[in-house]
Structure 1
Amino acid sequence: MKGQEWYQADDVAEEYDDKRFSRGGRLIDRREKEAVLEAIMPVEDRKILEIACGTGRFTVMLAQQGADVVGLDISAAMLQQGREKTKDAALEGTLEFLRGDAGRLPFPDDHFDTVIAMRFFHLADDPQAFLAEMRRVSRDQIVFDTFNRFSARSIYNWALPMGSRLYSKSEVAVLLAKTNLTLEDVEDDFIAPYGLYRSIPNELATPIRTLDELIGSLPVTDHLASVSYWNTRVR
Structure 2
Amino acid sequence: MKGQEWYQTAEVAEAYEDKRFSDGGQLIDEREKEAVLSAVGPVEGKHILEIACGTGRFTTMLARRGADIVGLDISPAMLQEGRKKAHAADVADHLEFMRGDAARLPFPDDHFETVVAMRFFHLADTPASFLAEMRRVARDQVVFDTFRRFSTRSIYNWLLPMGSRLYSRVEVERLLNGAGLRLAHEEHDFVFPYGLYRQLPDGVATALRDFDTSIMGSPAGDHVASVSYWDARI
Q: For residue 48 of structure 1, report the CA deviation from its aligned partner.
A: 0.3
Counterpart of 1:112 in structure 2 is 112
Counterpart of 2:31 in structure 1 is 31
Q: For residue 218 of structure 1, report the CA deviation from its aligned partner.
A: 1.4
Q: For residue 217 of structure 1, report the CA deviation from its aligned partner.
A: 1.3
In structure 2, distance between residues paired with 1:196 and 1:157: 12
Counterpart of 1:211 in structure 2 is 211
Q: For residue 207 of structure 1, report the CA deviation from its aligned partner.
A: 1.3
Write the letter of the residue equivalent to 1:209.
R
Q: For residue 168 of structure 1, report the CA deviation from its aligned partner.
A: 0.1
Q: For residue 92 of structure 1, report the CA deviation from its aligned partner.
A: 9.8
Three-state SS of the structure 1 residue aligned to 2:204 is: helix
CA contact (8 A) 1:63 1:95 kept: yes
Counterpart of 2:40 in structure 1 is 40
Q: How many residues align?
A: 234
TM-score, normalised by the number of residues in structure 2: 0.98
Where do 1:1-235 residues align within 5 Å? 1-91=1-91, 94-234=94-234
In structure 1, distance between residues paired with 2:59 and 2:123: 20
Three-state SS of the structure 2 residue aligned to 1:204 is: helix
TM-aligned CA distance change 1:162 to 1:78, over 3 Å:
farther
In structure 1, distance between residues paired with 2:165 and 2:61: 27
Q: For residue 159 of structure 1, report the CA deviation from its aligned partner.
A: 2.5
In structure 2, distance between residues paired with 1:142 and 1:109: 14
TM-score, normalised by the number of residues in structure 1: 0.97
Q: For residue 129 of structure 1, report the CA deviation from its aligned partner.
A: 0.2
Three-state SS of the structure 1 residue aligned to 2:88 is: coil
| Structure 1 stretches lacking a partner, 5+ long | none
| Structure 2 stretches lacking a partner, 5+ long | none
Write the letter of the residue equivalent to 2:167.
Y
Q: Deviations over 1:58-82 (max 9, x none)?
A: 0000000000110000000000000
Q: For residue 193 of structure 1, report the CA deviation from its aligned partner.
A: 1.0
CA contact (8 A) 1:68 1:93 kept: no
Three-state SS of the structure 1 residue aligned to 2:182 is: strand
CA contact (8 A) 1:189 1:227 kept: yes
Write the letter of the residue equivalent to 1:141.
Q
- Runs of 4+ in structure 1 off by over 6 angstroms are none
Write the letter of the residue equivalent to 2:18.
D
Q: Deviations over 1:109-161 (max 9, x none)?
A: 00000000000000001100000000000000000000001111111213324
Three-state SS of the structure 1 residue aligned to 2:187 is: strand
CA contact (8 A) 2:156 2:193 kept: no
Q: CA RMSD in A?
A: 1.2
Write the letter of the residue equivalent to 1:70.
V
CA contact (8 A) 1:65 1:92 kept: no
CA contact (8 A) 1:190 1:227 kept: yes
CA contact (8 A) 1:115 1:138 kept: yes
In structure 2, distance between residues paired with 1:134 and 1:213: 32
TM-aligned CA distance change 1:60 to 1:54, over 3 Å:
same
Write the letter of the residue equivalent to 1:213.
T
In structure 1, distance between residues paired with 2:223 and 2:146: 13
CA contact (8 A) 1:24 1:198 kept: yes
| Percent identity (aligned) | 68
CA contact (8 A) 1:66 1:92 kept: no
In structure 2, distance between residues paired with 1:169 and 1:179: 15
In structure 2, distance between residues paired with 1:175 and 1:108: 22
